[in-house]
Amino acid sequence: MTGFTHFTLLADGEVFEPNLEFETERGRYIMAMKAWAKDAEEAADMIVEIGQSLGFRPDGELQVFVTSPEEPEEDEPYGYDVQFTSYLEGEEEVDGEDRPKWIH
């Protein structure tokens, strides 16, 4: 064992380049990712770097949680289970009803 900790991360940001593999278009998204890293700072750096390589720029809140793993620890830090969820900014109420902001 390498002594890594398992994290789940959520980053608010903007897709600046659509990605066919992840079915993203330009717009607002939450990027979720699981990671094995030495600490929360390294995990946060990983989601930024991986996100940018996938056309995503984090520019809002970044949440980092220590969680139980779904994949085993390896010799090097790594991220997995990357997901994108789009949402519309400011769409809190439609036709007098509260609606979820998150659109999947």
Q: Which residues of 75-99 are buried (b: 16+ CB within 10 A; e: fewer)?
A: eebebeebebeebeeeeeeeeeeee
Q: How confident is the model at residue 96 (pLDDT cuts 50, 70, 90)?
A: low
Record the pTM: 0.82
Q: What is the pLDDT of residues 57-90, one digit of tens each?
A: 999 999 999 999 999 999 999 999 999 999 987 6
pLDDT of residue 104: 35
pLDDT of residue 89: 73
| Phi, psi for 21 (deg, rounded to 5) | -60, -40
Mean pLDDT of 37-48: 97
Element containing residue 79 per DSSP (H, E): strand 78-86
DSSP 8-state code for residue 37: E
